[in-house]
Structure 1
Amino acid sequence: MEAFVRGVRLTSRLCGYVAAALIGLSVIVVCEMVFVRYALNQNTIWQTDFVTYCLVAATFVGSPYVLMTRGHVNVDVLPHYMQPRARRWLALFAAGLSLAFCVTIAVLTFRFWQEAWDNKWVSDTMWRARLWIPYSSMPIGLGVLTLQSLADLLNLVTGRERPFGIVTEQSS
């Protein structure tokens, strides 16, 4: 199990690097688009779509890294006022619910991606991008998010992580 958790953490970290690279690439393409459009007075065909797809992909692919680092927005007022046992049960319930949500959305986005692949969908713009390419970020990101959610649940069940990361006098 330790190898699984380490592997998932490594994969989530890699997803974070990919997401950061996609955002950086988007910035470069926007600068190129501005230069081509205003300095060279030429049309831009693919840049807007490319940047949109990259930013959406960065969101999906970067989500496992955000979960791993606890970078998401959360409200932990209730767990702070709960007894340790109740806090643990709440954390297990929340982690189980999160895992179920991630599995459901990962399966649905895979089906969506597969439909784009099978039907050879292309974008409605002049670029005519094959949509299975940008859509692949959804099942990939949510698949790794599911694995990260499972790793978090396993860490919680085995006591490797404290519920909501709250340290009490009893656990110190």
Structure 2
Amino acid sequence: MRQRGPAGPAPVSQASSSESDMRSFIRAVSAVSRLLGVIGALLLLAAIFAVSHMVFVRYVLVQSTVWQTEFTIFAIVAATFLGAPWVLIERGHVNVDILQIASGPRVRAILQALSGLASLVFVGLIAYASWYHFHESWTNGWMTESVWAIPLWIPVLPMLVGTVWLAVQYIAELMRLWLDGADPHLANQDALFSDTVKKA
């Protein structure tokens, strides 16, 4: 038995091997995304600690603070970017899916593919801008304009890592869409949408 691929008939074993490689890639990318999500959560905890420490130093010890405010800002920004790939896996990003829910499986898959490609381009542009800013900060030795005065490339690095890996995760999601079809989460909402329309 043979399956037809883009370049003509291909042995089933070859097609199965290709699919296995794609699924291995998807699992590996998702594992790294979840690790980045854990790091982002730890950064949020660190930001909470920094704010608590700042309050203690200012109002209990009655002393000035140096690093706490800036660290908190950078930690929250880093957590946002590093956690973005994991949020994509969990379908946590804001999106308007009423058309996808109301569509059939084929149209739904097409809409998800177009949405994924558009998002990949957008994230790619942000990743390029992050790389440019990181490179400028590194080569020029830029520092933050504060008493703490840390190298600027340090807070920019999580933005670069997060956006690059978010782009990789989008590629993995497009591969998953190619292998498995439309997102089953939306398909499960199909009946609920139909019932709501009928009741209206």
TM-score (normalizing by structure 1): 0.92
Name stretches of at least 5 consecutive residues in structure 1 with no aligned partner: none
Note if 1:155 corresponds to 2:153. no
Q: Which residue of 1 aligns with 2:192?
A: none
Q: CA RMSD in A?
A: 1.3
Note if 1:129 corresponds to 2:150. yes
Which string of whole-angstrom CA distances, capped at 9 and with x for unpartnered residues, describes residues 8-30 of structure 1? 11111001100100000010111
Q: Which residue of 1 aligns with 2:195?
A: none
Q: Which residue of 2 aligns with 1:88?
A: 109
Q: Quick one: distance in 1 between partners of 2:184 and 2:142?
A: 42
Note if 1:41 corresponds to 2:62. yes
Q: Which residue of 2 aligns with 1:68?
A: 89
Select which of 45, 51, 63 maps to 2:72.
Answer: 51
Secondary structure of the 2:187 match is coil
The answer (yes or no) to whether the contact 1:79–1:164 under 8 Å persists in 2 is no
Count of aligned pairs between the two proteins: 167
Query: What amino acid sits opposite 2:53 in the alignment?
Result: E
Q: Quick one: distance in 2 between partners of 1:82 and 1:17?
A: 35
| Stretch moving more, 123-132 or 73-82 | 73-82
Q: CA deviation at 1:56?
A: 0.6
Structure with more contact order per residue of length (Cα contacts < 8 Å, sep ≥ 6): 1
Q: Quick one: distance in 2 between partners of 1:21 and 1:66?
A: 15
Q: CA deviation at 1:129?
A: 1.1
Q: Quick one: distance in 1 between partners of 2:127 and 2:100?
A: 28
Query: What amino acid sits opposite 2:35 in the alignment?
Result: L
Kindly report which structure 2 residues correspond to 1:109-128, keeping only aligned pairs within 5 A, or say none.
109-128=130-149
Which string of whole-angstrom CA distances, capped at 9 and with x for unpartnered residues, describes residues 108-164 of structure 1? 2111111111111101111111110011011100011011100000000122x5247
Q: Which residue of 2 aligns with 1:166?
A: 186
The answer (yes or no) to whether the contact 2:105–2:187 under 8 Å persists in 1 is no
Note if 1:5 corresponds to 2:26. yes
Q: CA deviation at 1:98?
A: 1.1
Query: What amino acid sits opposite 1:165 in the alignment?
Result: H
State, as a whole percentage, how many aligned pairs show the same letter.
Answer: 40
Q: Of the two, which has the highest radius of gyration?
A: 2
Q: CA deviation at 1:84?
A: 2.4
| Stretch moving more, 19-28 or 90-99 | 90-99
Note if 1:103 corresponds to 2:149. no
Name stretches of at least 5 consecutive residues in structure 2 with no aligned partner: 1-21, 189-200
Query: What amino acid sits opposite 2:46 in the alignment?
Result: L
The answer (yes or no) to whether the contact 2:101–2:187 under 8 Å persists in 1 is no
TM-score (normalizing by structure 2): 0.80
Q: Which residue of 1 aligns with 2:166?
A: 145
Query: What amino acid sits opposite 1:59 in the alignment?
Result: T
